[in-house]
Copies of this chain bind each other. A is one copy, B any other.
């Protein structure tokens, strides 16, 4: 699958300290070769759960291989720009990344599906679509264009709908809104009359304070709390219907991956699967406590009205259908995604949702 020359070129792109010890021998010929990989994350070190997921994968891969296969995780910006992680992996200058495929919809909007599309799959449903509904195969078909292979690696769960300086009661209130929001969701809000913009996380607070923007969405209580938005844009909306779950991926350069022995490939598959499940579990422990503190500090918890949700639902279908009309690959993935969504929504409405609807309220009302 890979020539020695190319593999050597790839490996020697790493700094001297990260050079594999047994460079002369092809990895496959050895039982447990020394391998060093660098990982570039799209997230800063301060996002303990997001960046921590890449660190957890690296640690586990080391444990599984008696320290022979070592991955070192770097925060976004240290060895590659946060939103260019895929490019670094594609060129082979870095062996692997931890990132969200929807950061790259400028290359192809179909990359959005594997992270999140508005009104798409929640975290559990996305796991099922990726692992057994064909989603991951569709992603890896695309990843081949980038010399890469991807493994699901973490989910935020349903995100919050962001921070607004004013209340948003009607569809009309969205018109003219300057909203910090990224990806396909920006196109949905644009259709509803908003002006979407991309502002780096570090500048959101000051932009809200000065009124350069009227609203901003980020992730959920655990991550949002650190940025202090409640002081300048106190209306905190639920749910972030454009991200009912946001799935991250561990993405490896295909040549680097192909050169690994089978047990190292298995180590990546399981370490990422473990981290995939653990990330949302960490959020489920941290978010309830952060939400309580946010409300205590002045956040006004509000819910989107049904007319707003219905207008957004329709606008989203228009956006998706238009993109499908222009892009065969987008169309193929949209069809798989919608078919799975309709099946699993029906089933979860019967089972999970009928349980949740009763139990989530009963714990506060039935005595």
Residue ranges of A at the interface with B (Cβ–Cβ < 8 Å): 31, 60, 63-66, 119, 122-125, 127-128, 131-133, 157-160, 220-221, 238-241, 244, 262-263, 266-267, 269-271, 273-274, 276-278, 280-282, 284-285, 287-289, 291, 301, 303, 306, 309-310, 313-314, 341-364, 366
Q: How far is the CA of A220 from the CA of B354 in the complex (A)?
A: 14
Bound complex: CA A210 to CA B128 (Å): 39
B-chain residues with CB within 8 Å of residue A60 when the two chains form the complex: 266, 270
State the oligomeric state as a number of copies: 2
Partner of A276, one of B131, B277, B351, B366: B277
**Distance (Å) between the CB of A219 and the closest chain B CB?**
11
Contact B239 A355 (CB under 8 A): yes
From A351, which residue of chain B is reached at the shortest CB distance? Answer: B158
Q: Is A284 in contact with B63, judged by CB distance below 8 angstroms?
A: no
Q: A357 contacts which of B341, B344, B353 (Cβ < 8 Å)?
A: B353
Partner of A131, one of B131, B278, B361: B278
List the B side residues contacting A64 at CB < 8 Å: 64, 263, 266-267, 270
Are A284 and B124 interface neighbours, CB within 8 A?
A: yes
Residues of the B chain whose Cβ atoms lie less than 8 Å from the Cβ of A313: 362, 366
Give the 10 A-B residue pairs with the shortest CB-CB distance, closest first.
Answer: A128-B284, A273-B274, A288-B347, A288-B343, A270-B270, A239-B355, A63-B266, A158-B351, A128-B281, A349-B360
Cα of A63 to Cα of B362 in the assembled complex, Å = 46
A292 → chain B closest CB, angstroms: 8
Question: CA of A139 to CA of B274 in the docked complex: distance in angstroms?
Answer: 20
A64-B267, A342-B363, A349-B361 known, 10 other contacts, Cβ within 8 Å: A128-B282, A157-B351, A238-B351, A239-B351, A239-B355, A269-B274, A273-B273, A284-B344, A291-B346, A310-B366
Partner of A350, one of B65, B239, B276, B314: B239
Q: List 20 A-B contacts (CB under 8 A).
A: A119-B359, A124-B284, A131-B278, A157-B351, A158-B352, A158-B355, A239-B352, A240-B351, A244-B352, A273-B278, A284-B344, A313-B362, A314-B366, A345-B363, A349-B360, A349-B361, A352-B356, A353-B353, A353-B356, A353-B360
Residues of the B chain whose Cβ atoms lie less than 8 Å from the Cβ of A310: 362, 366
A271: B residues at CB distance < 8 A: 270
List chain B residues, Cβ under 8 A from A359.
119, 241, 244, 345
Q: Which residue of chain B has the shortest Cβ distance to A65 in the bound complex?
A: B263
List of B residues within 8 angstroms of A244 by Cβ = 352, 355, 359
A284-B124, A291-B350 are known contacts. Are A360 and B343 too (CB-CB below 8 A)? Answer: no
Contact A31 B66 (CB under 8 A): yes
- Taken together as a complex, chains A and B put the C-alpha atoms of A276 and B131 apart, in Å, by 13
Q: Which residues of B contact A221 (CB under 8 A)?
A: 347
Please tell me if the beta carbons of B347 and A133 are within 8 angstroms of each other in the complex: no
Nearest opposing residue in chain B for A270, CB measure: B270
**Residue in B124, B281, B287 whose beta carbon sits within 8 Å of that of A347 in the complex:** B287
**A66→B362 CA distance, assembly (Å):** 51
Q: Separation in Å of the A343 CB from the closest CB of chain B? A: 4
Inter-subunit contact B277/A273 (CB<8 Å):
yes
What is the CA–CA distance of A343 and B285 in the complex, to the nearest angstrom?
A: 8
CA distance A353 to B309 in the complex (A): 14
